[in-house]
A and B are shown apart, each in its own frame.
Chain A
Amino acid sequence: MQPFELSLTEASRAVRARELSPVELTESVLARIHAVEGRLSAYVTVTADAALAAAARAEREICAGGLRGPLHGIPMALKDLIDAAGMPTTASSHVRAGHVAERDSWVAQRLDAAGTVLLGKTHTHEFAYGLITPQTHNAWDHSRVAGGSSGGSAVAVAAGEATFAMGTDTGGSIRVPAALNGVVGLKPTYGLVPRTGVTSLSWSLDHVGPLTRTVQDAALVLSAIAGHDPRDPASVSGPMLDRFPGGDLRGLKVGVPRNHYFDRVAPETEESVRGAIERLAELGAELVAVEVPMARYVQAVQWGLMVPEATAYHERSLRATPDRYAADVRLLLEAGELTSAGDYLRAQRARTMMRDAWARMFDGIDVLAAPTVPMTAVEAGQEAVEWADGTTETVSDSYVRLCAPANITGVPALTLPVGHDRAGLPVGMQLMARPFHDATVLRVGRVYEESVACAGRLAPLPA
């Protein structure tokens, strides 16, 4: 096995045991980038020299007995919405031409303190305002979409171009590309990971989180990045996240939605996810059918919050340099200027109601299990999906539909791969829990992944 093929957990063990040098690991990942990046376009910028210097520093420290923790010497990438001091945060947009971040974001600073090696910045759908990341190609089938908006990060992890990566999630932007590329993605509880130094799409809905090869890997990253930063007004101190016990799932109640999450879902996706839920039952969990409250209003609340907030954030540049935006993003930003305060307030009030109703739903269950997205990765350029019930939906609306509730309610949501369709494309299952019970979704995900073969496998790219 080449070093780039190792998961974070495997690489960490090998580095700690001094069987693998951070320099070897980083060189292997950089060589992998060189070999496959031309087909994938996951990266905006690869900072190879700086990465090798950081890896050499990590190697020296570890050899001198100064191992900082499980992330020390591990090469990773940041979605190009996340500031790293001295580098541009392009947001994959011409609007950001000439930008340079003055200081590290919270997550960049924490990952640096943990001793990680920054490989570079990955592509996002422009300013995170989309579900496709059109510049980047799916790791499993390059003619298909990467998903978005953290498409670059998901593809980099799936292809072995980064041992892990960071993304952001406002309406599914970590979980959608993670599911479409067969990797793990975690949207933590709202407020658990500070968003300081992360370009905003929608303050009410933005989250920062990891994309990794395994659930165990995601738990390790979350431990390093969770914390309280008063510079982010949504930041709160959460529980300690240093123990993620395995075992079985006896005593755990898994909610299986009767509505919303299995409505208008491709048959193969439904089959894979229901199979994974049955596996949870085999592992000891009790399955409980639940009604997801206020499902009818999910899209309305998501848009009612996100559309005006995104327009507000871009107020200046939309007036000064509108032609630098991509066409789809510019149109949404301009139309957002016409959303009324009344609509925004209705969305915020409905959000309070939905949050409280979901809390009552979680009185009866520990975890909600569902598909992450209704279908696998579509062909690049496909704009709409036709469902068996005769309705048509845009691809973007479809990809957001099952992810948005966790953004609106702030609950932790983990996606993990649970199978493939007949075309070989990955299918993701989503696990959600009460706010600040991130450890629960990670535990359940980890128990599931330990019970199945080939967790954490890379996309099979031909050499």
Chain B
Amino acid sequence: MTSELTPQEAARWALRAGLLLDDGRHEAVAMTANHIHCVIGTLRELDFGETPPAFAYRAGRRNADAAV
């Protein structure tokens, strides 16, 4: 279960991050942000277990705990 941001909420949350959105942009930014949120949201299906994030990762190194 999740929720979408209204244009006003998007503007408030952007301002919270120090980004002042022009008045005419709230709706477009909210729509885009909601779409991005929806796409990334599929990751909540995954059971990550003990899997750490791959921050300073090196290609080729295996994490012994990873399971799909």
Contacts and interface: CB of A to CB of B under 8 A. Distances in A.
Contacts of A299: 39
Contact of B62 (A322, A332, A348, A359): A359
Contact of B58 (A191, A346, A349, A351): A191
B59 A410 contact: yes
A345 interface: yes
A346 B48 contact: yes
B14 A356 contact: no
A351 B59 CA distance: 11
A243 interface: no
A234 interface: yes
Interface in B1-48: 5, 10, 13-14, 17-22, 25, 28-29, 32-33, 36-37, 39-44, 46, 48
Given A355-B54, A356-B66, A296 B42 contact: yes
Interface residues of B, number: 40
Contact of B43 (A301, A336, A409, A411): A301
A350 B67 CA distance: 11
Contacts of A336: 36
Contact of A334 (B29, B40, B55, B68): B29
Given A351-B53, A352-B57, A356-B62, A331 B39 contact: no
Contacts of A339: 33, 36-37, 40
A319 interface: yes
Interface string A202-228: 001000000000000000000000000
Contacts of A334: 14, 19, 21, 25, 29, 32
A338 B51 contact: no
A352 B51 contact: yes
Contacts of B21: 334
A332 B36 CA distance: 9
A191 B57 CA distance: 10
A300 interface: yes
Contact of A303 (B36, B51, B56): B36
Contacts of A190: 58-59
Nearest to A350: B43
Interface residues of A, number: 48
A357 B68 contact: yes
A301 B62 CA distance: 18
B40 A300 contact: yes
B40 A352 contact: no
Contacts of B54: 204, 348-349, 351-352, 355
Nearest to A355: B54
B60 A434 contact: yes
Residue among B14, B62, B66 with the most chain A CB within 10 A?
B66
Residue among B13, B21, B59, B60 with the most chain A CB within 10 A?
B59
Nearest to A190: B59
B56 to A, nearest CB: 6
A234 B40 contact: no
B34 to A, nearest CB: 9
Contacts of A332: 32
A410 to B, nearest CB: 3
Interface of B: 5, 10, 13-14, 17-22, 25, 28-29, 32-33, 36-37, 39-44, 46, 48, 51-60, 62-63, 66-68
16 contacts: A189-B59, A294-B68, A296-B42, A297-B46, A319-B18, A334-B32, A335-B36, A336-B36, A338-B13, A338-B14, A347-B40, A350-B46, A352-B51, A353-B68, A355-B54, A409-B59
Interface of A: 189-191, 204, 233-234, 236, 293-294, 296-297, 299-301, 303-304, 307, 318-319, 322, 331-332, 334-339, 343, 345-353, 355-357, 359, 409-411, 434-436
